């Protein structure tokens, strides 16, 4: 049986449906957790206070991205995007800034990085 492995990631703008696809560095780092803090109360008692919900952040670096795709990613800062990769991961989230570097071998391409912060997203049809 043949297995298809796509080294690409796909980023869709949720409002317009536009797509950017590019190769990604294999060492994508994800952080999953909860929001919370430790508070001090009367007589020095300390308690953990957490918030409902999960945090899901993913650090991504795309390599050899054409200038046109970089321009689209810049336009989408602060907008909802869907991220999909070759591991079957699918995250709807927002990124606030891009970290871009010129690709040395080709002046028309860039290496682009961002931190995608996952948001709660429902695909259910409202009744």
What is the tens place of the pLDDT at every residue in 64-123? Answer: 999 999 999 999 999 999 999 888 889 999 999 999 888 888 889 999 999 999 998 877
Buried b or exposed e, range 77-104, using 16+ CB within 10 angstroms: eeeebbbbbeeeeebbbbbeebebeebe
pLDDT at 52: 86
Please give the average per-residue pLDDT across 45-59, as a whole number: 89
pLDDT at 28: 75
Is the sign of the CA dihedral 71, 72, 78, 81 positive or negative?
negative
pLDDT > 70 fraction of the chain, expressed in percent and rounded: 94
- Could you give the C-alpha distances from 117 to 17, 30, 44, 46, 82, in angstroms and in order? 19, 10, 35, 30, 11
Instruction: Tell which wins on pLDDT, 27 or 77.
Output: 77
């Amino acid at each position: 049986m043949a297995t298809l492995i796509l080294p690409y990631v796909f980023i869709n703008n949720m409002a317009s449906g536009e797509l950017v696809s590019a190769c990604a560095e294999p060492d994508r780092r994800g952080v999953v957790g909860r929001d919370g803090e430790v508070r001090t109360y009367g007589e020095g008692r300390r308690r953990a206070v957490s918030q409902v919900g999960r945090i899901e952040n993913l650090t991504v670096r795309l390599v050899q991205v054409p200038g046109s795709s970089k321009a689209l990613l810049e336009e989408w800062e602060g907008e909802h995007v869907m991220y999909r990769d070759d591991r079957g991961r699918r995250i709807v989230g927002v990124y606030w800034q891009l970290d871009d570097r010129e690709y040395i071998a080709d002046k028309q391409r860039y290496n682009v990085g961002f931190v995608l912060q996952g948001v709660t997203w429902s695909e259910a049809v409202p009744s």
